[in-house]
Amino acid sequence: MTERAPQPTTAAANPPVQPLASNLLPSDVVRISATANVPAPERQLDKVAKLIDVSKCIGCKACQSACIEWNDTHPAIEENVGVYENPHDLTPEMFTLMRFSEYENPQGDLEWLIRKDGCMHCEDPGCLKACPAPGAIVQYSNGIVDFVSANCIGCGYCVSGCPFDVPRIHQTAHVSKKCTLCSDRVAVGQGPACAKACPTQAITFGTKESQIALANERIEDLKSRGYENAGLYDPQGVGGTHVMYVLHHADKPGLYAGLPDDPRISPVVESWKGATKTVGLAAIGLAAAGAVLHGLFSKGNQVTAEEEHEAEELVVKTAAVQPETREEL
């Protein structure tokens, strides 16, 4: 039997060095875009999570560098536009981005809030819901939401579906790109590249349970330092996420470069992908079927011979009333 890589428990631990087969199998997929009735997986992988402790983050961008290197992407060398963010936004070549926010708190002290932005790996992923291409977006039983470029059609629906503004469409490859939570690393027992590279362990990785426990430890520490509203960002509106934040101001996520207060799949997207889809299709089907049936069983609106005759008369009579009119035929 093939020896499979263990499920990673942390990003800091060194991975096994012997070649091991992937531990993230097609049968571990629990949701597939545009696909109903995904067979129930035979096993349930441990739910994993990446925890980003904003209070430990120094904004060094090692995560960005590691992400570029591991995923072999090539973001453009841009300009400085008066801020520390570079690249200036997430791009199809930059799956994660440090965002810097200067915040003057009510005490008048400055805080420089630095947040690593990227895919949150929602338990209820809006991208997957919006995606029209079967198999372009999958969710594994460990919680990772992954884009499968081979099945992606580049339509950009996932961009609208995402409550966090994360996916970006590659303008030449015409596929949607985002953080994969390094599913390829996780598959062979390693944590994500960003967590591995993080010098202060502001980014950690492990089972969701362990990361929540770690977060609670951190929150306690932050509370002891006067951050009364310190808390975990694991928004329930999307069923919880597999990328979570420890925030000093969990009551105001928006301070962190516009992190949504209560993210959920937009009701617009819900109704587009819900009622509209089913009711619309039903209406079209009924209308088409009704028309066909009615067409088959009704005799149709026939013109009678009498009417043909009357038409002739009408034309002739009109001509008679106007004798000067030249007969053409």
Partner 1 sequence: MTNSWTDIKNTDLVVIMGGNAAEAHPCGFKWVTEAKHHRGAKLIVVDPRFNRSASVSDYYAPIRPGSDIAFLMGVIRWCIENDKVQWDYVRNYTNVGYLVREDFGFQDGMFTGYDAEKRSYDQTSWEYELGEDGYVINDETLTHPRSVWQLLKKHVEIYTPEFVENVCGTPKDRFLKICEMIGETSSPTKTMTSMYALGWTQHSKGSQNIRGMAMLQLLLGNIGVPGGGMNALRGHSNIQGLTDVGLMSNLIPGYLAMPRETEPDFATYMSTRGNKPLRPNQMSYWQNYGKFMVSFMKALWGDKATAENGWGYDWLPKLDIVQYDAMRMFNMMKNGEVNIYFCQGFNPLLSFPNRGKMTEAFSKLKLLVVMDPLATETAAFWENHGIYNDVDTASIQTEVLELPTTCFAEDEGATVNSGRWLQWHWAGATPPGEARSDVWIMTQIYQRIRKLYETEGGKAPEPVLNLAWDYADPEEPTAAELAMELNGRALTTLYDATDPTKVVLEAGKQVSGFGQLRDDGSTMGACWIYAGCFTEDGNMMARRDNSDPSGMGVFQQWSFAWPANRRVLYNRASCDPDGKPWDPSRVLIEWNGEKWVGPDIPDIAVTAKPREVGPFIMNPEGTSRFFSRKLMRDGPFPTHMEPFESPMANPLNPEMRGNPVARVFPDDMANMATSAEFPLVATSYRLTEHFHYWTKHNYVNAVNQPEFFVEISEELAAEKGIKKGGMVRVWSKRGQVWAKAVVTKRIRPMICDGKPVHVVGIPIHWGFKGAARKGFGPNTLGPFVGDANIETPEFKAFLVNIEPASEGLA
Partner 2 sequence: MSHQYSAPGDHIESTKPVTVSRYRGITRLNHWVTALSLILLAISGLSLFHPSLFFLSGLFGGGQVVRWLHPAIGIVLFLSFFLLFLQMWKLNLPRREDATWVAHIGDVVQGNEDKLPELGKYNAGQKFVFWAMTGLILLLILTGLMIWEKQVPLWEPYAPWAATIPARRIALLVHALSAVGIILVFILHVYAAIWTRGTLRAMTTGSVTGGWAFRHHRKWLRELAKNRKAPDNHNTPAE
Binding flag, residue 72, partner 1 (CB under 8 A):
no
CA distance 5 to 22: 6
What letter represents residue 274's amino acid?
G
Which stretch in 85-93, 223-231, 248-256, 286-294 sits in contact with partner 2 by CB under 8 A?
A: 286-294
- By a kind-dependent CB cut-off of 5 to 8 A, residue 159 interacts, out of partner 2, partner 1, none, with partner 2
DSSP for 159-222 reads HHH-TT---EE-TTT--EE---TTHHHHTTT---HHHHH-TT--EEEEEHHHHHHHHHHHHHHH
* 20, 30, 60, 155: residue in contact with partner 1 (rule CB under 8 A): 60
Closest CA to 32 of 140, 138, 158, 171: 138
Which stretch in 59-67, 93-101, 250-258, 304-312 sits in contact with partner 2 by CB under 8 A?
A: 304-312
Task: From residue 54, give the alpha-carbon distance in Å to each of 21, 218, 263, 271.
Answer: 34, 10, 19, 35
Binding flag, residue 9, partner 2 (CB under 8 A):
no
* 1, 2, 18, 109: residue in contact with partner 1 (rule CB under 8 A): 109
CA distance 152 to 166: 16
- By a kind-dependent CB cut-off of 5 to 8 A, residue 269 interacts, out of partner 1, partner 2, none, with partner 2
Binding flag, residue 291, partner 2 (CB under 8 A):
yes
- Here's the x/- map for partner 2, 24-43, by CB under 8 A: it reads as ----------xxx-------
Binding flag, residue 276, partner 2 (CB under 8 A):
yes
Rg over alpha carbons for the chain, rounded to the nearest Å, is 30
Question: Are 298 and 158 in contact, with CB atoms under 8 Å apart?
Answer: no
- By a kind-dependent CB cut-off of 5 to 8 A, residue 296 interacts, out of partner 2, partner 1, none, with none
- Here's the x/- map for partner 2, 173-192, by CB under 8 A: it reads as -x------------------
Binding flag, residue 81, partner 2 (CB under 8 A):
no
Binding flag, residue 165, partner 2 (CB under 8 A):
yes
Write out the two tokens for 24.
């993230």
Binding flag, residue 37, partner 1 (CB under 8 A):
no
Binding flag, residue 172, partner 2 (CB under 8 A):
no
CA distance 115 to 100: 7
Q: How many CB atoms lie within 10 A of CB 264?
A: 17
Q: How many CB atoms lie within 10 A of CB 10?
A: 17
Residues that bind partner 1 (CB under 8 A): 55-62, 64-65, 68-69, 74-84, 86-87, 94, 102, 104, 109-114, 199-202, 217-218, 221, 224-225
